[in-house]
Amino acid sequence: MQPHTRKVLLIGWDAADWKIATPLMDQGLMPCLNDFVNCGVMGNLATLQPVLSPMLWNSIATGKHADKHGIHGFIEPDPNSGGVRPVTSTSRRVKAIWNILTQKGFKTHVLGWFAGHPAEPINGVCVSDLYPIATAPPDQPWPLPDGAVHPESLRDPLSELRMHPAEVDASMVFPFIPKLQKVDQKKDHNLSAFVKTLSENVSIHNAATWILETQPWDFMAVYYNGIDHFCHAFMHFHPPRLQCIPEDLFELYKDVVTGAYRFHDMLLARLLYLAGRDTTVILCSDHGFHSDHLRPLGIPNEPAGPAVQHRRFGVIAMAGNHIKKDERIYGATLLDVTPTILTLFGLPIGEDMDGRVLVEAFDEAPQIERIPSWEQEPGECGMHPADLRMDPDSANAVLQQFAALGYIGPTDDQKKSVEIALREAKYNLARVYMDKRRPLQALPMFEDLYKQQPEQARFAQHLAQCYLALRRIEDAKRVLTELVNRPPAPKKRKQETEAAGAAPGSQELSPAGSGPSVSGAETAAGTNRPWADWLMGVIKFEEGDMEGALELLLRAEHAQRRMPDLHLRIGQAYLRLRRLEDAERAFHEALEIDADSAEGHLGLACVMLRKRQDDRAVEEALAAVSLQHFLPMGHFYLGVALARLAHFRRATLAFETAIAMAPGFLVAHRFLVAVNRRPGGDLAKAIQHKKWIGDFIRRRREALNK
């Protein structure tokens, strides 16, 4: 297989979002990114659940879900200390893209990747994510942690490139905070978070540019956490002003997020210049960040609560030889990055990878080869042995950073911290299985979590959702009834809350703009009636009582209109009742709140099919699958509409895509029989699918007769 490029530069911007970047590009405020996307392709990059950066960046680097790569959160038990440690490069059980390329002899560098310490002994330079973190006051020595740089011979020159937060002066801050002099630093500590993030990203960038200038290379991956950290600290000050934000603080910090994006644009310009014209560049983010009316009004009082601020679409942009120019791509996910890089280098894809090659980004469809797995391929790949130890000081520096961001609580109580780490890893892994549509594997985990802590609303709700996915309606009803009828828990003292693993200072407020996906639903019982009505309305819906479901759902809607998923469920209930105009209105209301709702477009596609407005059904189905490629029903609706419009070849492709995603999709098989029986159709395909239907019906009868 021939390579499509000589070099690949992979740039990670944590939490970058087109919702913010596109207006800035249009205003001429991000000229480098604007030129970059005009010379290549751009699109949304769908994230995975749960939306936690350590898991997501390692899915990007491996092309695999977290159940395969092994990183299930921010922290894990430390077998050496008996306490906890941040997830590390030894936590990852499979090869990352840089390990595969090392194995094939490519000169490969990676800098700052999440869960990247200790630096791996790859064929090139590896700089861990501990490299930029200042662990000493400015007037004291600041040695690099052991294992922060590979090879050891580059430790000294790279150490000199770091910037300490104390080196950030006013001239560096003014572009972000023009009214810096009005900040009362005795009472307002926002500046300390700002300078820490700025200095760390400058340090990573200094190392990246030095390596590009001085070291031979075929592949480089560099990760910047700046946008994510700036957004977590300052997005609530971003325009338009939230009612809960004082006017004076808004005026001080309203420009920080915009400044962060413009800062990254300047970093990008330097990287592109050093990379050269013969390099294929991929820019991506692991998720987006709510910046508009969907910003949550509070942070759930639970571990990893700040993730409620993350949006489900990140960014992807590619440019280089053999890449299309000035076009959009659709349906990309985090899992597609590594398979695409392998194809660019002319290497096969592992069949155990969960992603696909972004063939639509290439000017000509690339040849794709496959092997069973890169894990079985022999040769030195630069991975550490699993038992390599992280020194306590380095581990503590990372834990403090996670605590400052609100993802974990204090870790002084070792036994309690280990319990929390194990519990959260199980919870996150169960959510991965649900995201992969494998509820049977998630069920015992959710049942165990709920048994241990029935007072945790998030465990109850996820268990109920798992039961619903398995059609165990009575079990779901039992769990949700217990949740709704539970008296409100007494307010915990701050110390008790933090000891339980929540972030210091987090707030027990429900996330705005989402369904009851459990985060922050601790108040589902008692005073927060919209959540209770929502939950019981879902049960009524699953029981087939559409009138009863609508009564509860509409009551929840009256009390809380900011939840797009609530309008989606209302639309589905109207569809079941054949009230098409009401259903159409409900789906439009969901899309008015969240224009990137694939489910909203899917609902409208169904409405249009029933109204025999097939052209509009095609538009809505295409919009749905462009936002979420893995959507079997979206491809099916597209096929039905295209078949009605006599576009039989395209309809066949849509039905086949639906079946590839859901092999047991009986109705799609039947449509393929009908489409291929027509004059000019593929009779062999019709016979093949008819045989599948016959075999399926026979197996089902045999199962029922046992």
519 pLDDT higher than 50: no
* % the chain with pLDDT above 90: 72
Determine the pLDDT at residue 137.
Answer: 86
CA angle at 295 for the pair 291 and 298, rounded to the nearest 5°: 140
In a domain, 191, yes or no: yes
The amino acid sitting at 390 is M
CATH code for the domain in which residue 358 is found: 3.40.720.10
Q: Give the integer Cα–Cα distance in Å for 409 and 403.
A: 6
Looking at the DSSP bridge assignments, the partners of residue 223 are 12
390 — pLDDT class (breaks 50, 70, 90): low
Determine the pLDDT at residue 304.
Answer: 84
**Exposed, middle or buried by CB within 10 Å (0-12, 13-18, 19+), for 31?**
middle
Q: What are phi and psi of 284, to 5 degrees?
A: -150, 160
Last residue of some domain: 394, 412, 437? 394
Domain carrying residue 660: 620-706
Task: Provide the phi-psi class of 197: left if phi over 0, else alpha when psi is between -120 and 50, else beta.
Answer: alpha
Which tens digit of pLDDT belongs to each residue from 151-191? 999 999 999 999 999 999 999 999 999 999 999 888 888 99
| Least confident range of 147-161, 405-419, 599-613 | 405-419
Burial 540-575 (b: 16+ CB within 10 A, else e): bbbeeebebbbebbeebbeebebbbbbbbbbbbbbb
Average confidence score pLDDT of the chain: 89
The amino acid sitting at 171 is S
H helix or E strand, kind and range, residue 553: helix 546-559
How many Cα atoms occupy the beta-carbon half-sphere of 667 within 13 Å? 7
In a domain, 305, yes or no: yes
CATH code for the domain in which residue 675 is found: 1.25.40.10
Last residue of some domain: 394, 415, 444? 394
Determine the pLDDT at residue 462.
Answer: 94
Task: Evaluate the omega torsion of the peptide bond into residue 410 and state whether it is cis, within 30 degrees of 0.
Answer: no
| Across 322-341, average pLDDT | 95
356 — pLDDT class (breaks 50, 70, 90): very high
Number of structural domains in the chain = 2
Last residue of some domain: 343, 366, 394? 394
In a domain, 424, yes or no: no
In a domain, 316, yes or no: yes
Which tens digit of pLDDT belongs to each residue from 62-86? 999 999 999 999 888 877 777 888 8
Determine the pLDDT at residue 247.
Answer: 95
Determine the pLDDT at residue 505.
Answer: 35
605 pLDDT higher than 50: yes
Task: Provide the phi-psi class of 13: left if phi over 0, else alpha when psi is between -120 and 50, else beta.
Answer: beta
In a domain, 225, yes or no: yes
Which tens digit of pLDDT belongs to each residue from 110-158? 999 999 999 999 999 999 999 999 988 888 888 898 999 999 999 999 9
In a domain, 592, yes or no: no
Q: Give the integer Cα–Cα distance in Å for 48 and 333.
A: 8
Which tens digit of pLDDT belongs to each residue from 242-267? 999 999 999 999 999 999 999 999 99
Determine the pLDDT at residue 3.
Answer: 85
In a domain, 326, yes or no: yes
pTM assigned to the model: 0.89
Tokens of residue 22, six digits: 């596109």
CB 92 within 8 A of CB 115: yes
513 pLDDT higher than 50: no
In a domain, 151, yes or no: yes
**Which positions ≥6 away from 378 have C-beta within 8 Å?**
none
507 pLDDT higher than 50: no
